[in-house]
Amino acid sequence: MRDKGEIFNYTNDITFHMVGLGARNEVLQNQWKIRTLEQIRRDLNHTERTIHILKIDIEGSEWTSIPQMIQSGSLRSVKQMQIELHGTGSIDKLKVLRMLYEDGFQIFMRDRNINCKYSSTRFVRQRTSCMEVSMIRVTS
């Protein structure tokens, strides 16, 4: 029988779980379990494992989750990250990117996500509001 939190086993080495990544441990709308990266690693018994690639697509919550991951040390064993960054520019978002840089990550690829867009009422045209950003750890 499957664990309630498990979606399915993709292969013997890959299992999808019904857990969202966030800045704190909580349950949203009485059903969706959100956990910090640190807690997910503890729950899966992966605290001592290297994460070679961490894919983050959490619909705007990356801006609060990434600082929490850095402060808790959860990213120390992450070698690469692929993040979908949501929203338009702001100084606070630049500060989060700076935190990643100071933690040892550098961007090696970025691309606009053309499926993530909004219509500007000011300029009467559509604009991309998401970027796919790949980062690699260059310092420990």
* pLDDT score of 47: 93
pLDDT at res. 3: 47
Beta bridge partners of 81: 54, 135
Helix (H) or strand (E) holding 21: strand 20-21
Strand partners, 27: 33
- Rounded (5°) CA angle 13-72-94: 100
Length of the chain: 140
Tell whether the model's pLDDT for residue 131 goes beyond 50: yes
Confidence at residue 123, expressed as pLDDT on a 0 to 100 scale: 66
